[in-house]
Amino acid sequence: MQTLYLIRHTKPDIAPGICYGQLDLDVAGSFETEANDILRCLPKLELVIASPLLRTKRLGEFLALEQQCELRSDARLMEKHFGAWEGKYWDDIPRQEIDAWAENVMSYAPPGGESAQQLMQRVQEFMRDLAQLPQQNIALVAHGGSIRALLALIAEIPLTDTLNWAMEYGAVVCVRRKQTVTK
């Protein structure tokens, strides 16, 4: 049985109210304190897998170094791609686009971005591959959206049921799941 530690990145270095999805941001000045708080929540890890975006990569590197374990990068853990919305204040995104998204959260893709369904598909592929790994204690350093997608898959519930779940920066969620290793 695998024990997974789903960890949201620490506070990013960006002003509040900006849509940033896959925008590659650095971490805020509070990184060291936040990273050490996360480290204290974790047992001995065998593997850390992080999204390649800088805010997750930095935390993944920190945890792997402190835990003296292997670090891997996997783009399937990246945040939802918000396309033309990225880097814009949420209030500056055309209202009709936000409304269209709200009406069909799973299928709507912002211009040049991806839908929540596409996010779910890549996370589902990641989970299939993860089940094949021999490691038992694994940290997944990811983003609010991809962590919600992981939790929806593990709990076998719709992603839309997870949208109101609190997912603070530096949150650590521990789940255990059976592996289905194929030979």
pLDDT given at position 134: 96
- Name every residue whose Cβ is closer than 8 Å to that of residue 153 and which is 6 or more positions away in sequence: 120, 123, 124, 127
Domain annotation for the chain: domains and CATH numbers: 2-177 (3.40.50.1240)
Using one digit for the tens of pLDDT, what is the confidence trace for 153-170? 999 999 999 999 999 999
pLDDT given at position 97: 97
Q: Does 182 have pLDDT greater than 80?
A: no
- How many CA atoms are closer than 13 Å to the CA of 103, on its beta-carbon side? 7
Do strands 47-50 and 2-8 pair parallel, antiparallel, or not at all (unpaired)? unpaired
Using one digit for the tens of pLDDT, what is the confidence trace for 4-23? 999 999 999 999 999 999 99
Using one digit for the tens of pLDDT, what is the confidence trace for 97-126? 999 999 999 999 999 999 999 999 999 999
Higher per-residue confidence, 45 vs 180? 45
Q: Give the pair of three-digit tokens for residue 59.
A: 């935390």
**Overall average pLDDT of the 19-35 stretch:** 97
Do strands 172-177 and 2-8 pair parallel, antiparallel, or not at all (unpaired)? antiparallel
Q: Are 56 and 25 in contact (CB under 8 A)?
A: no
pLDDT category, 1, cuts 50, 70, 90? confident
Query: How far is Cα 118 from Cα 76, in angstroms, rounded to an integer?
Result: 10
pTM score of the predicted model: 0.94
Would you give the DSSP letter of residue 89? B
pLDDT category, 179, cuts 50, 70, 90? low
Higher per-residue confidence, 7 vs 182? 7
Instruction: Give the CA dihedral 152, 173, 55, 112, nearest 10 degrees.
Output: 10
pLDDT category, 177, cuts 50, 70, 90? confident
